[in-house]
Structure 1
């Protein structure tokens, strides 16, 4: 599969969990995958005023990581992270050296809030802010859609979602 796969969506939608499952499936298919989480590649503080979500840093770090993965033998890249606009899509295409297929994962705001509360990573005001951001971002990603596909994750298993993502990625690679 020549294009990189990006799993985008709001917090709590399952980007990382689905990404790992797709990665596992790709190892079984001998696709020689690599996996990168943009949140981790942009985990630096403070963020510049003109790039509050660190999209430039994430793309710069992704380019370096992907280069290292390719030298180690990987041939396909699975990326978990939010892609809010066309600029961020282009940054990822530049970082990976080619086209990306963006699959936006969606879920109702109530389910996003439940998942965020259930993972117990955030607390206090940070938790409330993340739940609010998830709802805001969910609406924004639909309104300013830069994805190639969208998949509703509500009341579905990770295996089921990963299967659909992989099917769509394979179909896009063949077209």
Structure 2
């Protein structure tokens, strides 16, 4: 049984929103889920020069949190966060003590830009920077795909996306 699902993808694709919906579905299925957001686990500044995306810090924090979740009886872990390289995947697998399933969420650049602009978290130049980063990261994640499967979030409800993600993770 694969116990850890990672929802990866560029900013604006819906990783956290879909993650919460998958979490809710797992509750309904009595799968004892837990949820973690890698952005929050690496929210520290400044990052080290040799780890600009805080991959090591995120993995270290995830290991501690997953240990606590397991001790409390949780058996499935849903993780929202960008996984760009095989090395980052290995860090996460070490953190959870086994293989992870990576589902890459995907949407068009135009849809990512629209979502980023309307979610209201970023302001000023930060919005334009994040829109550019989303487009670049989307292309990179597609070209260097390390995911186990891909689910489009474009023009679909959160429920439809979560159901498709879950169907592939929990047959």
CA distance in structure 1 between the aligned counterparts of 2:3 and 2:75, rounded to whole angstroms: 10
Aligned to 2:86: 86
Q: Which runs of 4+ in 1 moved over 2 A?
A: none
Per-residue deviation, residues 46-104 of structure 1 (Å, max 9, x unmatched): 00111000000000000000001111110010000000010000000000001100000
Q: Secondary structure at the match of 1:104?
A: strand
CA distance in 2, matches of 1:150, 1:3: 18
Deviation at 1:170, TM superposition (A): 1.4
Q: CA deviation at 1:3?
A: 2.8
SS of the counterpart of 1:102?
A: strand
Q: CA deviation at 1:152?
A: 1.0
RMSD over aligned CA atoms reads 0.7
Asked whether the equivalents of residues 10 and 82 of structure 2 are also in contact (C-alpha less than 8 Å), the reply is yes
Correspondence for 1:121: 121
Task: Provide the residue aligned with 2:61 in structure 1.
Answer: 61
Unpaired runs of at least 5, structure 2 = none
- Give, in angstroms, the shift of residue 168 of structure 1: 0.3
2:141 alignment counterpart: 141
What's the CA shift for 1:137?
0.2
1:169 to 2:166 alignment: no
Q: Which residue of structure 1 lines up, in the alignment, with residue 7 of structure 2?
A: 7
TM-score, scaled to structure 2: 0.99
Q: Hey, what does 2:16 align to over in structure 1? A: 16
Instruction: Note if contact 2:4-2:77 (Cα within 8 Å) is conserved in structure 1.
Output: yes
Could you tell me the TM-score, scaled by structure 1's length?
0.96
Indicate the residue corresponding to 2:27 in structure 1: 27
Partners of 1:3 and 1:103 in 2: how far apart?
13
